[in-house]
Structure 1
Amino acid sequence: MASSRLKMGGDPLDRSVAAGQDVTQVCFDYGIVVNFSDGASLRIESDFDLEVAGEVLRVSPGEAGHASVVLSLLHKKVSRFHIDDGGALDVLLSSDCRLKCGEDPDYEAWTLTTGAGALYVSLPGGGVAHWPRAT
């Protein structure tokens, strides 16, 4: 299956892919995985900002020190899910929570698998690759 680089002006990402969905699970290893009620799964492997009630915290996946704050995402509802053409991710959730992850110069900062099976990957240095759902 071939990948394509997204052009966000006409990208195939349905921006409502996670809007209205609840965070059902948060998992930790060398990254952080956030699972949604529609079956979508977001894996973050680079540093990101997590804003909770107006306080912004820089989170490094794989470091346990911020686990309790990251767990505050559990059961939050997604209000907006945005990926820009540079590969930055911005997720607005209920209860004044916001997750922002920029691109990483050397690694894939995040990956998103939608509930329908499409895959989006933040590319090293910027941009987004997309593999449509397998049919």
Structure 2
Amino acid sequence: MSTEESPVEHEDRWILNLRGMSVAKIIVDFRLVLVLDTDWEVALEAPVSLSHGTVHASPSVLLNPESQDVAAALALFGAKVLSAVAFKSGTLRLVFDTGHHLTCSSDPSFEAWQVTGPADWRFASLPGGDLAVWSGSGTSDSSLDTR
């Protein structure tokens, strides 16, 4: 489990407090949902890049939640999160202890992904490449329009 109590905002990104959390469940409908062993959930709706090791050693696989083409994501079951970053450009990057890297970029037309957790935390990639952040204290205006 993470040593951080809440996600931490930086100039260009949010460091999410998911370190040490395991993927306890994988749900597939029109989304690919990674349910962590706590109250955090990662829901991916846009195509997702999943790679293992370095890009040079192993090319990435494109997962497409809309068509349920996400079988490669099963390798994440039980994996522990090493790093979780929500960039203010709308990109999400997760790194796992298995050597897998998951990257979901923003989409021009819809919310590509969202991460939800306790204390009403919610991060969402907005259409066009911005990041919206909500917590129990309301929306963080500083992360809405970062261009």
Which ranges of structure 2 fall in alignment gaps of 5 or more residues?
1-8, 139-147
Q: How many residues were matched structurally?
A: 126
Q: Structure with the greater relative contact order (CA < 8 A, sep ≥ 6): 1 or 2?
A: 1
Pair 1:126–1:8, CA change in 2 (3 A): farther
The answer to whether the Cα contact below 8 Å between 1:119 and 1:133 also exists between their aligned partners in 2 is no
Q: What is aligned with 2:48?
A: 48
TM-score normalised by length of structure 2: 0.77
The answer to whether the Cα contact below 8 Å between 1:25 and 1:74 also exists between their aligned partners in 2 is yes
The reply on whether 1:72 has 2:75 as its aligned counterpart is yes
The answer to whether the Cα contact below 8 Å between 1:50 and 1:99 also exists between their aligned partners in 2 is yes
What SS is found at the alignment partner of 1:18? coil
Q: What is aligned with 2:113?
A: 110
Aligned partner letter, 2:90 = G
Structure 1 stretches of at least 4 aligned residues deviating more than 6 Å after TM superposition: none
Give the CA deviation at 1:72.
0.9
Please tell me the root mean square deviation across aligned C-alpha atoms, in Å: 2.1
What SS is found at the alignment partner of 2:133? strand
Instruction: Give the whole-Å Cα distance in 2 for the aligned partners of 1:65 and 1:87.
Output: 22
Q: What is aligned with 2:135?
A: 132
Pair 1:48–1:132, CA change in 2 (3 A): same
TM-score normalised by length of structure 1: 0.84
Which ranges of structure 1 fall in alignment gaps of 5 or more residues?
1-6
